[in-house]
A and B are shown apart, each in its own frame.
Chain A
């Protein structure tokens, strides 16, 4: 096995035993990138020089014996996580040349952990999309089938891990943007509880839904990354001041005595038959391993997509008002006056999906429509949250598919925004309720495309979903399969 294919926990052991250096791992990753990146396009920015410097620093730290679990491990950040001195584009023309003057909290924490930053990953512009086709820098392709999308919006972060162009990555999840690409790319992705990870330095899309989380090749690595990025931080007043457990300790290969809820609404119309069969097989596997299955109902989940596509664009239309060509980012030249400059800058700087959502959100918040759309959606959001609260009195975790179909073809849904929105049908309710959710590989369809199993937990119960996922993973081998590149 090549170094670039390995997991962080395996490489960490080799590093601490001095059998390999971070420099060797980093060089191996960049060789891999050279070989596959022109076909995948996971990256907006690559950082080979800085990475080698960080690898040397990590090696010095390991020599001194003060290494942390992720010291020397090559990591990729989605390009909406601010990195001081390194451009952070958000996949947009309007931020094409934006160089942050500060680090996001997760960036600072990973620097302290001694990771090696490989580069900044491609994404749908402002994280709006489910396919990474909305990037100003061009689409990312699925490592399992280059004609298909890697999922989105964190498609670059997911594809980079799946194609072994890095060991771990971070994405962000507003309506499924970590879990859906993880499912499409056959890897693990976790959206933590809202407030578990500080959003300081994350470019805002929909502030009441956004959360940063890890992509990894297995569950142990997800736990290591979650340990590194979690915790209260005063500059994000929505981050929650609760102790951070050692998530690695929750990885017991045992689900006996756990009660898992299977929502009867999760296998409705629109689900591909192979996805349904594969997820039902995974449910049977967990049952054989000793978990008890209960039938649960989330009766308002059918409204989640409608609720989400009012609330998220409404918050986005407000958050994106800051892009006005004054303080940073692109400015259109040759304009007559201030209003003209605003209009031209924004019209040229944003792509069509971002403009569509700003329009949708502005409309939903405008005089005369606020009650009918935004307030109504926020009330139904309450009902969706109550469905989950009721379900979690009956079970420890909920299992369901991550996405209704495997990865679709590039171009298949670009002209039909509503169809694109409906690919988030199984991931959105979790964001609306602020819950943690994880996707892990549970099989492949007959053309070899990965299928994801989603595990949802109650607020701050990441340990339970990691335990379920780890037990499933340890007793199956889907996570070991690699795409042919």
Chain B
């Protein structure tokens, strides 16, 4: 499969990344090189194979829904680029 310039631009928007024109062109080459290598997987017949999402099989892990102490609010806000009282301020979202 080949990835086009338009697809790279679309994926960049999905990934919330912005690139210059030259960067996009470099990505088209590099991603095609890498994806070309991935194409070898097509040689394998896998229609009857279950996918593995966890290598060490596990069941769901449950715990009591009990109230426990959580991180201190002021401490948590201390890493925020723009904290205000108990909020994280961000640029405007709606007009």
Contacts and interface: CB of A to CB of B under 8 A. Distances in A.
B91 A208 contact: no
Nearest to B79: A328
Interface residues of A, number: 71
A478 interface: no
Contact of A338 (B7, B27, B46, B93): B93
Most-contacted residue by chain A among B1, B52, B58, B75 (CB, 10 A): B52
Interface residues of B, number: 49
Contacts of A380: 41, 44, 46, 49
Given A342-B16, A383-B44, A418 B80 contact: no
Nearest to A419: B33
Interface in B39-87: 40-42, 44, 46, 49-56, 58, 61, 63, 71-72, 75-76, 78-82
A385 interface: yes
A243 to B, nearest CB: 16
A71 interface: no
A358 B41 CA distance: 21
Contact of A346 (B17, B40, B53, B80): B17
A380 B50 CA distance: 9
Contacts of A339: 16
Given A307-B41, A356-B27, A380-B44, A208 B81 contact: no
Given A101-B79, A338-B90, A343-B18, A194 B38 contact: no
Interface in A423-482: 432-435, 459
B79 A362 contact: no
Interface string A355-371: 11011101100100100
B17 A347 contact: yes
A80 to B, nearest CB: 16
A346 B17 CA distance: 6
B81 A337 contact: no
Contacts of B51: 375, 378-379, 381-382
Contacts of B12: 359
Nearest to B46: A379
A438 B81 CA distance: 41
A100 to B, nearest CB: 8
A215 interface: no
A382 B44 CA distance: 12
A374 B81 CA distance: 35
B41 A303 contact: yes
Contacts of B46: 376, 379-380, 383
A99 interface: yes
B10 to A, nearest CB: 8
A112 interface: no
Given A99-B79, A336-B91, A359 B11 contact: yes
B3 to A, nearest CB: 7
A408 interface: no
Contacts, number: 157
A341 B91 contact: yes
A310 B38 contact: yes
Interface string A266-303: 00000000000000000000000000000000001001
Contacts of A310: 38
Nearest to B16: A342
Contacts of A126: none
Given A346-B17, A355-B17, A362-B15, A341 B90 contact: yes
Contacts of A336: 91
Given A331-B82, A363-B7, A433-B55, A102 B17 contact: no
Contacts of B63: 234
Given A101-B71, A336-B91, A378 B52 contact: yes
B72 A101 contact: yes
Interface in A371-401: 372-373, 375-383, 385
28 contacts: A98-B79, A101-B79, A193-B56, A238-B54, A240-B56, A306-B40, A326-B81, A328-B79, A328-B80, A329-B81, A331-B81, A356-B30, A359-B11, A359-B12, A360-B31, A360-B34, A362-B11, A362-B15, A363-B11, A372-B1, A376-B42, A376-B46, A378-B51, A382-B50, A383-B46, A385-B55, A417-B34, A418-B34
Given A306-B37, A355-B19, A379-B46, 6 more contacts: A101-B75, A327-B76, A340-B91, A343-B17, A379-B52, A383-B49
The 7 closest A-B pairs by CB, nearest first: A434-B55, A378-B51, A328-B79, A331-B81, A237-B61, A379-B46, A362-B15
